[in-house]
Amino acid sequence: MITILNASKQPVAVLDDYFDDEISEQINGAYTLNFSVYLDDDKSPYIQIGNFAEAEGQWFNIIHHRRTRAESGEVVIAVECEQVAYDLLFTIFEGGFIHTGSPAVLLNRALEGTGFTVGTVQPTGLISVDLKEGVSARAVILEIAAQCGGELKFDKYSISLLTRRGQDRGVQFRLGKNLRGIVKDVNGQSGVVQTAYEIDVVELNTLPEFEGLEYFELGDTADAIDEELGINEAQRIIQYAFSPKRRINSKVVIANYIDGIQDTIYRIQTTTVGKDKWMYGVKIGPDDGIVIERYDKLARSIWNADEFRMQKGNGNGSYSDALYFDPINEEYEFTGIVRAGQFIGGSIEIGSNFSVDEDGHMIAEGAEFSGDISASTITGTEIEGGEIYGSYIYGAEIEGGTVIGATVMTGDVGERRVEMRSGYADIGIFSGSGNDNVFSILDNDTTVELLFEKSGFITSASGAIYINAPNGVYVNDVLIG
Residue pLDDT tens, the chain, 481 long: 899 999 999 999 999 999 999 999 999 999 999 999 999 989 999 999 999 999 999 999 999 999 999 888 899 999 999 999 999 999 999 888 999 999 999 999 999 999 999 999 999 999 999 887 789 999 999 999 999 999 999 999 999 999 999 999 988 888 888 888 888 888 888 788 888 889 999 887 777 766 767 789 999 999 988 888 888 889 999 999 999 998 888 999 998 776 654 333 334 444 444 455 555 467 777 677 888 888 788 888 888 878 888 888 998 889 988 888 888 888 888 887 878 778 777 788 887 788 888 887 888 887 777 777 776 666 666 666 656 665 555 655 666 666 666 677 777 777 777 777 766 667 777 766 555 555 566 665 555 566 655 556 676 766 677 777 788 888 788 888 6
- d(CA 462, CA 448) in angstroms, rounded, equals 9
Residue 472 CB-density burial (10 A; 0-12 exposed, 13-18 middle, 19+ buried): exposed
Contacts of 233 (CB under 8 A, 6+ apart): 195, 197, 223, 224, 254
- Residue 51 pLDDT: 97
Can you give the pLDDT at residue 271? 42
- Cβ(256)–Cβ(194) under 8 Å? yes
Distance CA 178, CA 216 (A): 12
> Among candidates 122, 117, 116, which has minimal Cα distance to 104?
122
- Phi, psi angle pair for 476, to nearest 5°: 50, 45
Q: Is 373 left (phi over 0), alpha (psi -120 to 50) or beta?
A: beta
What is the model's pLDDT at position 117? 97
End-to-end CA distance of the chain: 150
Closest-CA residue to 200 (of 248, 259, 167): 248
At 463 the pLDDT is: 65
Virtual torsion, Cα 443, 446, 449, 455, nearest 10 deg: 80
Q: Which of 110, 174, 148, 190 is nearest to 28 (CA)?
A: 148
Give the number of other Cβ atoms within 10 Å of residue 222's Cβ.
24
The answer for residues whose C-beta is within 8 angstroms of residue 354's C-beta and 6 or more apart is 348, 362, 363, 364, 365, 367
With the C-alpha atoms ordered 467, 471, 472, 474, is the resulting torsion angle positive or negative?
negative
Fold of the domain built from segment(s) 91-162: Phage tail protein beta-alpha-beta fold (3.55.50)
Contacts of 92 (CB under 8 A, 6+ apart): 134, 135, 136, 137
Which pLDDT score is estimated for 398? 66
Q: Is the dihedral of CA 265, 134, 89, 102 positive or negative?
A: positive
Nearest to 203 by CA among 235, 251, 238: 251
- Report pLDDT for 136: 94
Residue type, position 63, single letter: I
Q: Specify the CATH number of the domain 2-84.
A: 3.30.200
